[in-house]
A and B are shown apart, each in its own frame.
Chain A
Amino acid sequence: MDFIFSEEQQLLRDSIQKYISKDYGFEARKAIIASTQGFSGKVWAQFAEMGLLGVAFAEAHGGFGGSAVDTMLIMTELGRGIVVEPYFSTVVLGAGLVDLAGSEAQKQAVLPKVVEGKLLLAAALGEPDSRFELNCVETTAKRDGAGFVLNGHKAVVLHGESANKLIVSVRTAGGAREAKGISLFLVDGKAAGVQVQGYRTIDGMRAAEIKFANVKVGADSVLGQLDQALPVLERAADFAVSALCAEAVGAMEALNAATFEYLKTRQQFGRPIGSFQALQHRAVDMMIHCEQSRSMAYLASVKVQSEDPNERKRTVSAAKIQIGRSGRVISQEAIQLHGGMGVSNELAAGHYAKRLTMINATLGDVEHHAERFASAG
C-alpha cells in the first residue's frame, strides 16, 4: 500500500495547476460563464492539447491508457479551479459510458474525436420523476422497422444543449422501475424531434431539459446490449461519482485555503479574526472534513475498479456520503466565516460553495447513497 503519485502524475497535476492559475482566474471564469455557450472552446482546445481529454482511454482509441487515479488527479485540479468546461459530462460520464458499453465500432467513432476535443457528449439519464434512480426510466424506444423511435423527457442533462451526441437511457422492455429492460442509445443532439431547453445551473454550468418526440434512430445507435444496460450504467455512474468526489476535494481545498487566508487578514477588534478560538476550532473542523473526504476520494478511485460490484458500490456510495456531508459543512462554514463577504457573488468563496452544494445533488445525494450503501451490505 502506498499513497505516492508517480512522476507522470505529478507532472500532469502541475501542468493543470499552472494552466489554471495563469489562464483560468476568477475573472476569466466569470467571462466564460457569461458567454452564450457557457464554456470556452479555446479552453477546451487547450485541454485537448494538454492531453487531458484522453487520459482515461486506451491507446487504440486515441487515449493514453491511464487509470481512475489519473482521472481523480485531473478532477481534483478542475475542482480547485471550479472549471465549468464539460469535462465531467463529456469525458468522464459520456465517453466513460461509450468506453464501457460501446462496440468497437462505436468506440472508434466516438472516443478519438472526444480525445481531440472535436466531439462533446452528454448523458441523458435522469427524468422528472426519477430523482437519482438510474433504473427509473420511462422514456421509451420502440421498434420501428429496422430501427427505433424514441419518446420521453430527460431532466437536468448536464451540458445537454452543447452536446453533439447524447447518450440516452430508455426503456425497451418492462415496467417503469424494473432493472431489466433498460437500454442505452447514442443519439445525435441535432436529430429531428430532439427538443432542447437549455438553462444555467446555480454553480455556473449549463444543463437542459431534453424532450424526445418520435425521434427515429438506426439499430446501430444501441450502445451495448439491448434491455441489459443497467449494470454497465451503474458502473459508469460509479466511476463518474468517484470523479465527482475528487473534484469536490479540490474545491474543498481551495475554499478552505481562501477561508483560512481570510481569517488571517480580516481585522476586527484590533486583531485578525483568526486569533479567536471560536473561529479557529471551526476552521480545524473544516480541515478535518477535507482530509476525511480526501481519504474517501482516494479509496473510491481505487475501489471503483474492483471486479466485485458490491465492494465497488459500497465504497463509492460511502465516498459520496462523506463528500456530501463534508461539502455541506465546509461550504456553509466558509460562507459564515467570510461574514458579509461570504454572501457576495463578487468573491470566489461563494462559487466554490455553490459547486460543492450541487455536487451533492449530482448522481445521488447523501440519502440516496446511504440507502445504496446499506443495500450493498
Chain B
Amino acid sequence: MDLNYTKEEQAFREEVRSFVGDSLPKDIADKVLHHKRLGKDDWVRWQKILYKKGWVAPNWPKEYGGCAWTPIQQHIFEDECGYAGAPRVMPFGLVMVAPVIQNFGSQWQKEYYLPRILSSEDWWAQGYTEPGSGSDLASLKCKAVREGDHYIVDGQKTWTTLGQHADMIFCLVRTDTTVKKQEGISFLLIDMHSPGITVRPIITLDEEHEVNEVFFDNVKVPAKNLVGEEGKGWTYAKFLLGHERTGIARVGESKRELEQLKKIAAKQLRNGKPLMDDPRFRDRVTQVEVELMALEITLLRVLSSRTKPGPEASILKIKGTDVQQALTELTMEAMGPYALPFRPETRDAAWHGEPVGPEYAGSAAAVYFNYRKTSIYGGSNEIQRNIISQMVLGL
C-alpha cells in the first residue's frame, strides 16, 4: 500500500494544473469562485476548451475520443479543475447518457450522438423524475406508444436541471403497462425542439432558474431513438446511476469551498478576534475538514478497486453531499447578520452597484438553500442508504 502519488501522477497533476491555469477563462473562474450566475455560454465555452485539448471525456474509452486515463488520473483532473474554479462539466451528456449509448446504443446512435456530445454541440438533459415518481422512480407514467416507425410520447418530467438550455433529453418512458413496473420501461432519446414539448421553469429557494418541468404532448419520436431493447430501460437506468455516483463526491470543489470558508472566517470577527480563531467555530470547520480528508481517501479506494464501482459508491454520494452542505452552512453562519441581505442582482457578473456588507455577503444564504438539493437529487440519501443496506449489508 502506498498513498503517495507516483512521480507520473505528480507530473500529470502539474500538467493539468498548468493547463487549467493557462486555459480557464478568468471571467468564468471568477463567476464560479464568487458564486455568480453562470450562463449556458460559460459552460459550453469551457467544455469546448477541454474538447480542443482532448480532455473533455476522461471517463470515455479511447475509441470514442476519451482519455483512457486511470481512475486516479481522473480524480486528479477533477480535483484540479474543481479547486481552480472551473465550472462543472455538464454530466448529462458526457457522464450519463454517453456510457449508456456506448454500451447499449445502436451504431447510428453512436455515430450521430457521441461526436455531438463530445463537441458540446448538443446540450443534454435528464428525463427521469416525474411528479409522482421521485424515489419510487420505477413507478413512472410518462408513456410512449409505438406507431409505425415512431413513438408517441405523452406525460411529464420534472426537476429537469438546466432543461431550458437543452437540445436533447434522455427519458425513461413506459412502453408496457401489463408487466412488472421495472420491465415496462424503455430508454428514449428525445429532441427537445420537437413539437409538443413545453418547458416551464421551477424557481428554487435561491430564486434562481435551475430546474424545470418538461411536458410532452403527443410528441413524435423516431423509433431509431430507442436505446437498446424496449422494456430494458430500467437496466440502463441503473447502469447510468452507477456512473453518476462516483463523480458526485465533488472533492475538489469542496476543498475550494473549504479554503474560501477559512478566508471568510479569518476576516469576520467574534469578540474582536477572527472567527476562525474562535474554538467553537473552528472545531466545526475542523470536523468538516477531517470528513473531507477521509472522503478523498475513501473515493480513491473506490476508484482504485479493480472492479467497477458497486453499491459502495453510495457512500460517496452520502458523504460527499454531507460535506458540501456542511460547508455552505458554515459559510452562511460565518456571515453573521450579513447572511440576511438577499440581493440576487449581485449574482450577475455585470452588476456593479453599491455592495451591502462584505463583498462575499449576499449569496451565502442563497447557496446554502440551493445546496439542500444535494441530499435529495441523484437518488436521495435515504435511497442511497436503502441501497447499501440491501446490497452491501444484506439487511
List A residues at the B interface (Cβ < 8 Å): 1-5, 9, 69, 260, 263-264, 274-275, 277, 279-281, 283-285, 287-288, 291-293, 295-296, 298-299, 302-303, 315, 318, 321-322, 325, 367, 370-371, 373-374
Q: List 22 A-B contacts (CB under 8 A).
A: A1-B4, A1-B5, A1-B72, A2-B1, A2-B2, A3-B1, A4-B1, A264-B395, A277-B386, A281-B386, A285-B385, A287-B315, A291-B315, A292-B319, A295-B301, A296-B290, A298-B297, A303-B3, A318-B289, A370-B286, A370-B287, A373-B290
Given contacts A1-B304, A2-B2, contact A264 B293 (CB under 8 A): no
- The residues in B between 282 and 341 inclusive whose CB is less than 8 angstroms from any CB of A are 282-283, 286-287, 289-291, 293-298, 300-301, 304-305, 312, 315, 318-319
- Report how far A103 CA is from B252 CA in the complex, Å: 45
Q: Are A287 and B2 in contact (CB under 8 A)?
A: no
List B residues at the A interface (Cβ < 8 Å): 1-6, 9, 72, 279, 282-283, 286-287, 289-291, 293-298, 300-301, 304-305, 312, 315, 318-319, 382, 385-386, 388-389, 392-395
Q: Are A374 and B395 in contact (CB under 8 A)?
A: no
- Report how far A275 CA is from B393 CA in the complex, Å: 11
The minimal Cβ–Cβ distance linking B270 to chain A, given in whole angstroms, is: 15
- Report how far A287 CA is from B295 CA in the complex, Å: 14
The minimal Cβ–Cβ distance linking B339 to chain A, given in whole angstroms, is: 24
Q: Are B290 and A280 in contact (CB under 8 A)?
A: no
The minimal Cβ–Cβ distance linking B348 to chain A, given in whole angstroms, is: 37
Q: Are A296 and B6 in contact (CB under 8 A)?
A: no
Residues of chain B with a CB closer than 8 A to A3's CB: 1, 3, 300-301, 304-305
- Report how far A171 CA is from B287 CA in the complex, Å: 34
Q: Are B295 and A292 in contact (CB under 8 A)?
A: yes
- Report how far A299 CA is from B72 CA in the complex, Å: 16
The minimal Cβ–Cβ distance linking A282 to chain B, given in whole angstroms, is: 9
- Report how far A298 CA is from B238 CA in the complex, Å: 31
Residues of chain B with a CB closer than 8 A to A298's CB: 1, 3, 297, 301
Q: Are B385 and A281 in contact (CB under 8 A)?
A: yes
Instruction: Tell me the dominant secondary structure on chain B's binding face.
Output: helix
- Report how far A274 CA is from B2 CA in the complex, Å: 37
Residues of chain A with a CB closer than 8 A to B282's CB: 370, 374
Which chain A residue lies CB-closest to B381?
Answer: A281
Residues of chain B with a CB closer than 8 A to A302's CB: 1-4
- Report how far A293 CA is from B297 CA in the complex, Å: 10
The minimal Cβ–Cβ distance linking B130 to chain A, given in whole angstroms, is: 23
The minimal Cβ–Cβ distance linking B292 to chain A, given in whole angstroms, is: 10
Residues of chain B with a CB closer than 8 A to A291's CB: 298, 312, 315
Kindly identify which residue among B1, B290, B389, B393 contacts A318, using a CB–CB cutoff of 8 Å: B290
Residues of chain A with a CB closer than 8 A to B3's CB: 1, 3, 298-299, 302-303
Instruction: Tell me the dominant secondary structure on chain A's binding face.
Output: helix
Kindly identify which residue among A275, A280, A371 contacts B385, using a CB–CB cutoff of 8 Å: A280
The minimal Cβ–Cβ distance linking A302 to chain B, given in whole angstroms, is: 4
Residues of chain B with a CB closer than 8 A to A325's CB: 287
Which chain B residue lies CB-closest to A260?
Answer: B393
The minimal Cβ–Cβ distance linking B223 to chain A, given in whole angstroms, is: 41
Given contacts A284-B388, A298-B1, contact A274 B395 (CB under 8 A): yes
Q: Are A263 and B395 in contact (CB under 8 A)?
A: yes
Which chain A residue lies CB-closest to B299?
Answer: A295
Q: Are B286 and A321 in contact (CB under 8 A)?
A: yes
The minimal Cβ–Cβ distance linking A83 to chain B, given in whole angstroms, is: 23
Residues of chain B with a CB closer than 8 A to A318's CB: 289-290, 293-294
Given contacts A288-B315, A370-B286, contact A5 B393 (CB under 8 A): no
Q: Are B294 and A296 in contact (CB under 8 A)?
A: yes
Which chain A residue lies CB-closest to B5?
Answer: A1
- Report how far A4 CA is from B6 CA in the complex, Å: 14
6 more CB-based (< 8 A) A-B contacts, given A1-B5, A9-B1: A1-B6, A5-B1, A281-B389, A287-B315, A298-B3, A374-B282
The minimal Cβ–Cβ distance linking A162 to chain B, given in whole angstroms, is: 33
- Report how far A288 CA is from B314 CA in the complex, Å: 10
Kindly identify which residue among A287, A295, A321, A322 contacts B393, using a CB–CB cutoff of 8 Å: A287
Given contacts A1-B2, A1-B5, A264-B394, contact A295 B388 (CB under 8 A): no
Residues of chain B with a CB closer than 8 A to A1's CB: 2-6, 9, 72, 300, 304
Residues of chain A with a CB closer than 8 A to B315's CB: 287-288, 291
- Report how far A295 CA is from B5 CA in the complex, Å: 16
Residues of chain A with a CB closer than 8 A to B2's CB: 1-2, 302
Residues of chain B with a CB closer than 8 A to A5's CB: 1
Which chain B residue lies CB-closest to A5?
Answer: B1
Q: Are B385 and A284 in contact (CB under 8 A)?
A: yes
Which chain B residue lies CB-closest to A256?
Answer: B393
Which chain B residue lies CB-closest to A67?
Answer: B1
Closest 9 interchain pairs by CB? A295-B297, A280-B389, A274-B395, A292-B294, A302-B3, A284-B385, A281-B385, A295-B294, A295-B298
Q: Are B300 and A321 in contact (CB under 8 A)?
A: no
- Report how far A281 CA is from B301 CA in the complex, Å: 23
Given contacts A287-B388, A374-B282, contact A293 B1 (CB under 8 A): no
- Report how far A4 CA is from B3 CA in the complex, Å: 10
The minimal Cβ–Cβ distance linking A100 to chain B, given in whole angstroms, is: 22
- Report how far A283 CA is from B6 CA in the complex, Å: 36
Residues of chain B with a CB closer than 8 A to A321's CB: 286-287, 290
Given contacts A3-B304, A275-B395, contact A283 B290 (CB under 8 A): no
- Report how far A283 CA is from B304 CA in the complex, Å: 25
Residues of chain A with a CB closer than 8 A to B385's CB: 280-281, 284-285
- Report how far A321 CA is from B319 CA in the complex, Å: 17
Given contacts A292-B319, A298-B1, A373-B286, contact A322 B294 (CB under 8 A): yes
Which chain B residue lies CB-closest to A257?
Answer: B393
Residues of chain A with a CB closer than 8 A to B9's CB: 1
The minimal Cβ–Cβ distance linking A275 to chain B, given in whole angstroms, is: 7
Q: Are A292 and B291 in contact (CB under 8 A)?
A: yes
- Report how far A298 CA is from B2 CA in the complex, Å: 9
Which chain B residue lies CB-closest to A282?
Answer: B385
Residues of chain B with a CB closer than 8 A to A277's CB: 386, 389
Which chain A residue lies CB-closest to B297?
Answer: A295
Residues of chain B with a CB closer than 8 A to A283's CB: 389, 393, 395
- Report how far A2 CA is from B71 CA in the complex, Å: 11
The minimal Cβ–Cβ distance linking A214 to chain B, given in whole angstroms, is: 41
- Report how far A373 CA is from B292 CA in the complex, Å: 14
- Report how far A375 CA is from B9 CA in the complex, Å: 30
Instruction: Identify the interface centre among A3, A5, A275: most chain B CB within 10 Å of its CB.
Output: A3
- Report how far A374 CA is from B300 CA in the complex, Å: 25
